């Protein structure tokens, strides 16, 4: 699925009615199965500047574990028979070192940002099959959903990070050792590797598929929820993209923003590492009660953050 259907329902509520944790809540790192990164080709000079491939650190702001991605060159785009036009042409991209969240941002983490006054609550508190999801402690370690591109951006800024570029996202999912179709390689997906194709009919706890880890140790980069990226989306952008740290085409408020990774509701073609999706970003110049002002947010889209390599 390339385009996510917009949801036009404006939702607001008082935090005191949600039973959210108090302002004294402390961020706690999510405990997940250990994913052991495979050996990949790296640029020794750049890697030495920031750390070792697959090394981890924990954010003081929200408890998120991040994995280190060394700078280097990789082939971006589609190489297989399922690649669509907007995945072509495949092209070489060189990136500086960066960190990327090991997991998708969770409900519990997002609540910390709401409590701090830097984020608005998700547009809906439910998930696809659960009436009480966001504020339910049972799902604190599940990905936050019903968040717009602006919501994701606000969170990452609050946490001292940023949204990954589309190129960074694909590099973190694919690595640079081969032309793999999925984060784990070319093996066809199954329910031990990813939450996809309505097998769970809803989101799953982050980190539930360690066998599906990317070469750098990032989890859930195929399925579970689509993930917002920083770039505006243009189906023809690969014909004009720069080779060094590309940041996407020009755009304006309300334009299409990229989403990556597919979701629990998408088939194997959509969860390939090169597949590109898009959804509408909020247009803050529009009427505050309009759908355009809100932008897209739904039960299949969340996000993870990134940070420059240090």
pLDDT tens per residue across span 150-197:
999 999 999 999 999 999 999 999 999 899 999 999 999 999 999 999
Residue 24 is assigned to a structural domain of this protein:
no
pLDDT (0 to 100) of residue 51 = 66
Q: Is residue 29's pLDDT more than 70?
A: no
Residue 285 is assigned to a structural domain of this protein:
yes
Residue 35 is assigned to a structural domain of this protein:
no
Residue bearing the bigger pLDDT, 37 or 145: 145
For 211, residues 6+ apart whose C-beta sits below 8 A from its C-beta are: 184, 192, 193
Q: Would you tell me the crossing angle of helices 149-158 and 107-115 to the nearest 10 degrees?
A: 70
Task: Provide mean pLDDT across the span 289-308.
Answer: 95
State both tokens at 62: 């929200």
CATH of the domain at 200: 3.90.1580.10
Task: Provide mean pLDDT across the span 136-147.
Answer: 98
Q: What is the pLDDT of residues 203-258, one digit of tens each?
A: 999 999 999 999 999 999 999 999 999 999 999 999 987 789 999 999 988 899 99
Q: Is residue 265's pLDDT more than 80?
A: yes
Residue 31: pLDDT band (50, 70, 90) is low
Residue 218 is assigned to a structural domain of this protein:
yes
Closest to 208 in 3D by CA, of 33, 29, 28, 30? 33
For 123, residues 6+ apart whose C-beta sits below 8 A from its C-beta are: 7, 9, 10, 11, 146, 147, 148, 294, 297
Strand bridging mode 226-232 / 301-302? parallel
Q: Is residue 24's pLDDT more than 50?
A: no
pLDDT (0 to 100) of residue 253 = 85
Q: How far apart are CA 158 and CA 96, in angstroms?
A: 23
Residue 53: pLDDT band (50, 70, 90) is confident
Residue 33 is assigned to a structural domain of this protein:
no
Q: How far apart are CA 145 and CA 300, in angstroms?
A: 7
Residue 12 is assigned to a structural domain of this protein:
no
Is residue 183 a contact partner of residue 196, using CB atoms and an 8 Å limit?
Answer: no
pLDDT (0 to 100) of residue 166 = 98
Residue 310: pLDDT band (50, 70, 90) is confident
Q: How far apart are CA 145 and CA 24, in angstroms?
A: 24
Evaluated on CA atoms 29, 17, 9, 133, the torsion sign reads positive
CA dihedral 245, 248, 252, 257 (to 10 degrees): -120
Q: Is residue 13's pLDDT more than 90?
A: no
Q: How far apart are CA 263 and CA 2, in angstroms?
A: 12
Q: What is the mean pLDDT of the chain?
A: 87
Q: What is the pLDDT of residues 68-109, one digit of tens each?
A: 999 999 999 999 999 999 999 999 999 999 999 999 999 999
Residue 138 is assigned to a structural domain of this protein:
yes
Residue 52: pLDDT band (50, 70, 90) is confident
What range does the domain containing 306 cover? 1-7+46-310
Q: How many domains is the chain built from?
A: 1
Residue 112 is assigned to a structural domain of this protein:
yes
């Amino acid at each position: 699925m390339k385009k996510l259907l917009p949801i036009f329902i404006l939702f607001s509520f008082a935090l005191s009615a949600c039973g959210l944790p108090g302002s004294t809540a402390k961020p706690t790192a999510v405990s997940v199965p250990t994913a052991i990164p495979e050996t990949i080709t790296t640029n020794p000079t750049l890697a030495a500047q920031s750390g070792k491939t697959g090394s981890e650190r924990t954010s003081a702001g929200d408890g998120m574990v991040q994995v280190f991605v060394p700078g280097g060159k990789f082939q971006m785009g589609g190489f297989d028979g399922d690649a669509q036009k907007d995945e072509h042409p495949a092209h070489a991209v060189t990136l500086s070192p960066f960190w990327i969240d090991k997991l998708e941002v969770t409900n519990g983490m997002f609540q910390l940002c709401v409590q701090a006054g830097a984020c608005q609550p998700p547009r809906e508190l439910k998930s696809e099959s659960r009436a009480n999801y966001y504020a339910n402690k049972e799902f604190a370690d599940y990905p936050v959903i019903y968040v717009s591109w602006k919501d994701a951006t606000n969170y990452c800024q609050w946490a001292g990070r940023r949204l990954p570029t589309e190129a960074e996202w694909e590099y973190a999912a694919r690595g640079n050792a081969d032309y793999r179709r999925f984060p784990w390689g070319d093996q066809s997906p199954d329910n031990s590797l990813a939450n996809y194709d309505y097998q769970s009919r809803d989101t799953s706890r982050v980190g539930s598929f360690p066998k599906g880890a990317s070469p750098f140790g990032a989890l859930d980069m195929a399925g579970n929820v689509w993930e917002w990226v920083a770039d505006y989306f243009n189906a023809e952008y690969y014909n004009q993209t720069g080779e060094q740290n590309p940041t996407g085409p020009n755009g304006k408020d309300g334009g299409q923003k990229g989403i990556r990774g597919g979701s629990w509701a998408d088939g194997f073609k959509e969860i390939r590492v090169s597949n590109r999706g898009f959804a509408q970003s909020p247009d803050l110049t529009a009427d505050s009660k309009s759908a355009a002002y809100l932008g897209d947010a739904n039960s299949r889209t969340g996000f993870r953050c990134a940070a420059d390599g240090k």
